[in-house]
């Protein structure tokens, strides 16, 4: 079966490195998702005062999966617009709770 391999020797770590430009065939740099991920990486780097052309992210597999899932979820939530609709609940006496707290 293509793409499936049998792990014969358990390893403590695995390192995957992309050759420069090897992934450019898969995504266009002007897509919204590309720009979003690049922005998130730039934010992470700026937070720690880092500016580098090469980035290596490592850790436990579950932590990396969680981080990538977090970025993906943020990307999907990025376009959601949430508006305050307080006028829709004017007939509900419990809606204005902060005014009833002494």
Query: What pLDDT is recorded for position 1?
Result: 45
Asked if the structure places residue 102 within a domain, the reply is no
* pLDDT one-digit tens code per residue, 4-38: 667 677 788 888 888 888 777 766 767 888 888 88
Contact 57, 64 (CB under 8 A): yes
- Quick one: average pLDDT of 69-85? 79
Residue 15 backbone class (left: φ over 0; alpha: ψ -120 to 50; beta: rest): beta
**67 three-state secondary structure:** helix
Residues 82 and 98: their CA atoms lie apart, in Å, by 21
Asked if the structure places residue 54 within a domain, the reply is yes
Q: Is the pTM higher than 0.75?
A: no
Asked if the structure places residue 68 within a domain, the reply is yes
Residues 74 and 78: their CA atoms lie apart, in Å, by 6
Asked if the structure places residue 41 within a domain, the reply is yes
Give residue 45's domain range. Answer: 32-78
Please tell me the total count of domains within the chain: 1
Percent of the chain scoring above 70 in pLDDT:
70
Query: What pLDDT is recorded for position 101?
Result: 53
């Amino acid at each position: 079966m293509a793409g499936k391999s049998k792990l014969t020797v358990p390893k403590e770590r695995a390192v995957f490195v992309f050759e420069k430009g090897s992934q450019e065939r898969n995504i266009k740099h002007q897509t919204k998702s590309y720009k979003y991920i690049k922005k998130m990486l730039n934010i992470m780097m700026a937070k720690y005062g880092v500016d580098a052309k090469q980035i290596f992210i490592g850790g436990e597999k579950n932590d990396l999966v969680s981080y990538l899932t977090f970025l993906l979820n943020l990307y999907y939530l990025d376009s959601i617009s949430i508006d305050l609709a307080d006028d829709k609940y004017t007939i509900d006496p419990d809606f204005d709770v902060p005014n009833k707290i002494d």
